[in-house]
Amino acid sequence: MTFNRRTFLGTSAVAAASLAAPMVLAQGKPRVVVIGGGAGGASAARYIAKDSKGAVDVTLIEPTRTYYTCFFSNLYLGGFKEIDEIGHSYGGLAANGVNVVHDWAVGVDRDTKTVALAGGGALQYDKLILSPGIDFVDMAVPGWDISAQNAMPHAYKAGSQTELLKAQLAAMPEGGTFAMVAPPNPYRCPPGPYERVSMVAHYLKANNPTAKIIVADPKPKFSKMALFQEGWNNHYAGMGDWVGEDFGGGNVSVDPAAMTVTIDGEETKVDVANVIPAMKAGRIADIAGVTDGNWAPVNAADMSSKADPDIYVLGDASQQGDMPKSGFSANSQAKVCANAVRGALTGSKVFPAKFSNTCWSLIDTNDGVKVGATYEATDEKIAKVDGFISQTGESADVRKATYEESEGWYAGITADMFGAKA
């Protein structure tokens, strides 16, 4: 018999957990286990529990007790939000029939349909939904790994990292230098790094106006590029430089101990470095054996894994086609998946898959822009049907309305994810 490390990690963890604790089983109901309590996982768990009216036993595994949304976290950096405004508990899900388990999923045995927990328990499933978000590719940026995240935060998993980056911005010396290392495609939230640059510039303009911003980017272009460049010229002219692929933006290394960033051989001493490395699916997807390379391929019609029809992968971790990796996308995919899973387990009607996404970005006070699209499921992928984007030169009233629209969306999607609180 041939063993590989991935399979061994998954199955051995399950075996150990099985010896340590009794199985947690629901009696007489089909069982759905959801791993990951973000926009994809929380939404899927809530919709399956709500729409099945108790006919399906739903368990959500999420290690954190407060979930901080990556979307709107840049607004916290810019001073438009408090950290508590982007934090959400799981009480509403629990009150609406979801069994919320605050633990790490450390193993998946696809043969026995069992998930092992770090705390020693185990859960059996009929259907497993993975929505683990992202992890980072090791040494994607030479000199940086996860041990350096306190010196050079990524802040691409919201919460303590976001608070740390804001504290570092506040501690910058007068006229200091902020550097961002932007990620290569594909990655979570395509406009996210550039909204972050905008929010950092907004903060520094008010609090440290002689500070300098440097962005090292391995890409020749980025999402909403014309809109961001227009906004930077209008609001933050002279504050920073964007170094794209043609000028060595992809040839970057860092030294967290010395606080230096080297771009195409030129070393710069910086005061704050926001390093956003290349990304991959959250590790549990790899342990479950449903990844191919960095991501988990899925069937567009229901988000089921191409490796296992009883496992579904949502959101950032999935490789699905044309949809961007965003909170809106994950929530949209979750509803399609929930409908398919409920139908498979209870015989209820399954509707044809339809998807949508919109990504808003704030450039400065009341200067909001957006991009979005609708999608359909084909045999090959989730395919874009049509789209829209804000235009350069829009009036202040239009931009303000776009920002206000994003506020309404945030309130709506978080209520959709987590439900009413108990």
Cα–Cα distance, 106 to 57 (Å, whole number): 21
Helix (H) or strand (E) run with residue 155 in it: none
Cα–Cα distance, 269 to 60 (Å, whole number): 44
**pLDDT of res. 22:** 33
Query: Per-residue pLDDT tens for 379-409?
Result: 999 999 999 999 999 999 999 999 999 999 9
Residue 14 has pLDDT above 70, yes or no: no
Q: Given this chain, do its domains 5-135+280-350 and 146-277 carry the same CATH topology?
A: yes
Amino acid identity of residue 338, one-letter, is A
Query: Per-residue pLDDT tens for 208-228?
Result: 999 999 999 999 999 999 999
Kind of pairing between the strands at 177-181 and 212-216:
parallel
Cα–Cα distance, 41 to 53 (Å, whole number): 18
Report residue 365 as tokens.
């006070």
Residues of the chain with pLDDT > 90: what percent? Answer: 92
State mean pLDDT over 108-123.
97
Residue 315 has pLDDT above 90, yes or no: yes
**pLDDT of res. 64:** 97
Cα–Cα distance, 136 to 279 (Å, whole number): 4
**pLDDT of res. 5:** 31
Report residue 326 as tokens.
């965003």
**pLDDT of res. 178:** 98
Q: Sorting pLDDT into bands at 50, 70 and 90, what band is 28?
A: confident
State mean pLDDT over 240-251.
96
Residue 92 has pLDDT above 70, yes or no: yes
Average pLDDT for the chain: 93
Residue spans of alpha helices (H) in 21-151 = 39-52, 73-77, 91-95
**pLDDT of res. 13:** 39
Residue 173 has pLDDT above 50, yes or no: yes
Q: 97-107 as b/e, with b when 16 or more CB fall inside 10 Å?
A: bbbbbebebbb
**pLDDT of res. 366:** 98
Domain 5-135+280-350 matching CATH 3.60.20.10: the answer reads no
Residue 27 has pLDDT above 80, yes or no: no
Output phi, psi for 376, to 5 deg: -135, 160
Report residue 251 as tokens.
């040839």
Whether residue 320 contacts residue 311, with contact meaning beta carbons closer than 8 Å, is answered with no
State mean pLDDT over 234-240.
97
Residue 11 has pLDDT above 90, yes or no: no
State mean pLDDT over 88-104.
97
Q: Give residue limits of the domains in the chain.
A: 5-135+280-350, 146-277
Report residue 129 as tokens.
């939904």
Cα–Cα distance, 235 to 3 (Å, whole number): 57
Cα distances (Å, whole numbers) of residue 290 to 117, 180, 236, 275, 307: 19, 32, 44, 28, 5
The partner residues of 243 in beta bridges, in order of sequence, read 216
Report residue 31 as tokens.
């069982």
Cα–Cα distance, 26 to 58 (Å, whole number): 9
Residue 339 has pLDDT above 50, yes or no: yes
Query: Per-residue pLDDT tens for 262-293?
Result: 999 999 999 999 999 999 999 999 999 999 99
**pLDDT of res. 21:** 35
Which superfamily does CATH assign the domain made up of 146-277 to? FAD/NAD(P)-binding domain (3.50.50.60)
Global pTM? 0.92
